[in-house]
Amino acid sequence: MSTLTKLIDDYRAIQAAYRAINEEDPRNAELWQAYEAADYAIQKHPCISLEEVREKVAFLLDDDMAFDSVESCYGPGGEPMLAVLLRSLLGQEPVEKSNNGGKAA
């Protein structure tokens, strides 16, 4: 099992746990944070083969929440998730957004 496949499996397990509880459940915030972290881990994982690129793209096209995060969210470093995803498809890590327009220092 590749690292990316494991990250996707972990994401799906956390997603299922999150969807199984209601908003008043005390675990809600903790599970949401885990859900976001699992999504980010997939988005930023550098693809090392064409197979990983295909697996990641298929995952994103199949999961509305993950696809939405690419369209409208930012990573923990302030970089748009679309940029995080595109860098990962090139086999690169995300960059920390700074006063230099998000370019690597």
- The string of pLDDT tens digits covering residues 29-54 is 899 999 999 999 999 999 999 999 99
Q: Is 95 part of a structural domain of the chain?
A: no
Calpha distance 59→102 (Å, rounded): 27
What's the number of domains the chain is made of?
A: 1
Domain assignment of residue 82, yes or no: yes
β partners of residue 80:
74
Structural domain harbouring 69? 3-89
Residue 21 counted as domain residue: yes
Residue 42 lies in a domain: yes
Q: Does 102 reside within a domain?
A: no
DSSP per-residue string spanning 54-90: HHHHHHHHH-HHHHHHHHH-B-TTS-BHHHHHHHHHT
pLDDT of residue 97: 66
The residue behind tokens 């988005």 is 43
Distance CA 14, CA 33 (A): 10
Model pTM score: 0.84
Answer yes or no: is 103 within a domain. no
Give every residue of the chain whose pLDDT is below 70, as ranges. Answer: 97-105
Asked, for residue 37, whether it belongs to a domain, the answer is: yes
